[in-house]
């Protein structure tokens, strides 16, 4: 993988020219689309029987009021994309969903116009193609399309805005934590986040912004070293998971790839009496919290809050799953207004081209691969 330069915006590409695969403009059913040079064909990366591959598709011949076309600017690779490739994701299928792009055709999507910079909210029910493509095409009614594309303020850089979707999920978790605690900030609370991946880093930045004193734990020292080198967290905020951790935290957010028994056992050691354990990382049907007989998969997906006891310690377990439109709106505001509290762009480790993506995905799904930070696909 090689580092590449900053992405260009759609309007910086001379005259918004069609991609090299184009032969002529797509037809439209209504609206002012005459100046939009859509191609006859476009490429996207799809999950094929022999792994991720670049596939060519015909561009839809008719663009109508129920269609939105977005030209991706930056698209993040998420852990869940890798889980989907490895067939380890059973409930949702969201391959290529961390999308920042520019609207090329808005149809009648409520509040959306051609030229808007938008982030995609995958929790809204619309039909869609993969964001890992030269174009991203979504279909739905005008209200759903309006909600599925969140407008991004022009002041916020693309490198920050591409984190809008993963940060909205992290925001939803922190908002749920405050709801469970019945408080409006995390001031004077000690919060532990377990798993210093991209989710853990975003959760920690949000908790800090809300006043918490945060410790970010990880199993592997190299990942903590990456965050230290980037200057996102100070040394005293980063800590290795060790099995003798004394309690002392008012809330613990478990944010590892899956919520393994070893992670949950460490999390429960960290908890103060009456504290809250937030379930953020992946869970599978039937997963239980060892010793406390709680179905963590159901608790997480239903966003339930349940009481638990472990080795005589009483605490609560709270679920969090996905994000709401309000989380996207708040994150867009936070990235613009408190840019220095959220140096999320420093998490980007590589920018790659779409043509490089299948090989990069194959590399990332190898069990021995160690990759830190966020890899983003540059649209143009
Ligand atoms: N609740 C929600 O709404 C929501 C939304 C989005 C994502 N998620 C979940 O968040 C998870 C993490 O996402 P991410 O983007 O942070 O992934 P990531 O960047 O790949 O990070 C994965 C983290 O998990 C840790 N980990 C993996 N296996 C472990 C083990 N056996 N023991 C201890 N730590 C282990 C890794 O530590 P090492 O450095 O030691 O490998 C790393 O810190 C995803 O898998 C997804 O399920 C939840």
Q: pLDDT, tens digit, for every residue of 24-68?
A: 345 455 444 445 679 999 999 999 999 999 999 999 888 999 999
Rounded distance from Cα 123 to ligand 1 centre (Å): 20
Work out which ligand 1 atom sits closest to the CA atom of 219: 40
Tokens of residue 143, six digits: 């209200």
Contacts for 37 with CB less than 8 Å, ≥ 6 apart: 15, 16, 17, 18, 22, 25
Among 76, 197, 285, the mutation site with the greatest number of ligand 1 atoms within 8 A of its Cβ is 197
Q: Is 253 in the pocket of ligand 1 (CB under 6 A)?
A: no
Could you tell me the two tokens for 234? 């100070």
Determine the residue of 195, 206, 296 to mutate for testing ligand 1's pocket, defined as the one with the most ligand atoms within 8 A of the Cβ atom.
195
In the chain, which residue ranges form alpha helices assigned H by DSSP?
Answer: 79-85, 142-148, 158-161, 164-181, 198-209, 221-230, 261-270, 296-301, 325-337, 357-364
The token duo for 338 is 């408190």
Distance 199 CA to ligand 1 centre (A): 7
HSE (side-chain half, CA atoms, 13 Å) at 95: 24
Question: What atom in ligand 1 is closest to the CA of residue 196?
Answer: 43
pLDDT at residue number 236: 93
User: In the 8-state DSSP scheme, what is residue 135?
Assistant: S
Q: How many CB atoms sit inside 10 A of residue 308's CB? A: 18
Q: Which residues touch 50 (CB under 8 Å, ≥6 apart)?
A: none
Q: Does any ligand 1 atom lie closer than 6 A to the CB of residue 199?
A: yes
pTM: predicted TM-score of the whole model, two decimal places: 0.91
Q: Whose CA is nearest to atom 19 of ligand 1?
A: 197
- Regions of the chain with pLDDT less than 70: 1-36, 88-92, 243-245, 292, 380
CA of 211 to the centre of ligand 1 (A): 24
Instruction: Determine the atom of ligand 1 nearest the C-alpha atom of 280.
Output: 1
Determine whether the shortest distance from the Cβ of 220 to ligand 1 is under 6 A: yes
Distance from Cα 125 to the centre of ligand 1, integer Å: 26
Answer whether 300's CB lies under 8 Å from 319's CB.
yes
d(CA 74, CA 377): 6
Residue 292 and residue 309 in contact, taking contact as beta carbons nearer than 8 Å: yes
Query: Three-state SS for 147?
Result: helix
Alpha-carbon distance 104 to 30, whole Å?
Answer: 14
pLDDT tens digits, residue range 125-169?
999 999 999 999 999 999 999 999 999 999 999 999 999 999 999
Evaluate: CB of 280 within 6 angstroms of ligand 1: yes
CA distance 224 to 220: 7
- 70 in contact with ligand 1, CB cutoff 6 A: no
Is the CB of residue 177 below 6 angstroms from any atom belonging to ligand 1? no
Cα of 338 vs centre of ligand 1, distance in Å, is: 26
Closest ligand 1 atom to the C-alpha of 371? 20
Give the pLDDT score at 15: 30
Cα–Cα distance measured from residue 47 to residue 49, given in angstroms and rounded to the nearest whole number = 7
Question: In testing the pocket of ligand 1, which one of 222, 264, 270, 281 has its CB within 8 Å of the most ligand atoms?
Answer: 281
Q: What's the CA gap between 56 and 44, in Å, rounded?
A: 7
SS3 13: coil
Q: Is the CB of 281 under 6 A from ligand 1?
A: yes
Ligand 1: nearest atom to the Cα of 223: 39
Residue 373 Cβ < 6 Å to ligand 1:
no
- At residue 289, the pLDDT reads 87
3-state SS, residue 9: coil
State the Cα angle at 16 between 12 and 22, rounded to 5°: 140
Alpha carbon 137 to its chain centroid, in Å, reads: 19
C-alpha–C-alpha distance, residues 295 and 293, integer Å: 7
- Contact partners, residue 35, CB within 8 Å, separation at least 6: none
Can you give the pLDDT at residue 231? 95
Closest CA to 161 of 369, 289, 350, 333: 333
């Amino acid at each position: 993988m090689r580092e590449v330069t900053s992405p260009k915006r759609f309007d910086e590409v001379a005259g918004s020219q069609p991609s090299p695969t184009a032969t002529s403009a797509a037809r439209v059913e209504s609206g002012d689309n005459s100046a939009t040079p859509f191609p006859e064909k476009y490429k996207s990366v799809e999950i094929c029987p022999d792994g991720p591959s670049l596939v060519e598709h015909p561009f839809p011949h008719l663009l109508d009021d129920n269609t939105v076309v977005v030209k991706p600017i930056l698209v993040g690779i998420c852990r869940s994309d890798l889980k989907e490739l490895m067939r380890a994701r059973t409930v949702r299928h969201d391959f290529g969903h961390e999308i920042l792009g520019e609207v090329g055709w808005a149809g009648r999507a409520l509040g959306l116009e051609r030229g808007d910079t938008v982030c995609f909210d995958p929790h809204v029910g619309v039909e869609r193609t993969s964001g890992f493509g030269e174009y991203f095409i979504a279909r739905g009614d005008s209200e759903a399309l309006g909600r599925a594309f969140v407008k991004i303020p022009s002041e916020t850089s693309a490198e920050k805005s591409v984190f809008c979707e993963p940060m909205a999920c992290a925001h939803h978790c922190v908002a749920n934590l405050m709801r469970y605690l019945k408080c409006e900030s995390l001031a004077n609370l000690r919060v532990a986040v377990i798993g210093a991946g991209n989710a853990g880093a975003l959760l920690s930045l949000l908790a800090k912004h809300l006043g918490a004193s945060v410790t970010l734990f990880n199993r592997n020292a190299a990942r903590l070293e990456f965050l230290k080198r980037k200057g996102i967290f100070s040394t005293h905020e980063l800590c290795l998971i060790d099995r003798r951790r004394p309690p002392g935290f008012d809330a613990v957010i478990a944010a590892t790839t899956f919520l393994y028994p070893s992670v949950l056992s460490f999390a429960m050691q960290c908890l103060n009496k009456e504290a809250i354990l937030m379930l953020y990382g992946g869970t599978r049907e039937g997963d239980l919290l060892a010793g406390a007989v709680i179905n963590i998969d159901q608790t997480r997906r239903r966003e339930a809050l349940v009481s638990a006891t472990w080795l005589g310690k009483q605490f609560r377990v709270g679920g969090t799953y996905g994000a709401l439109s309000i989380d996207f709106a708040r994150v867009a505001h936070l990235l613009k207004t408190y840019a220095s509290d959220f140096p999320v762009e420093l998490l980007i480790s590589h920018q790659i081209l779409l043509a490089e993506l299948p090989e990069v995905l194959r590399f990332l799904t190898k069990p021995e691969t160690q990759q830190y930070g966020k890899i983003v696909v540059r649209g143009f």
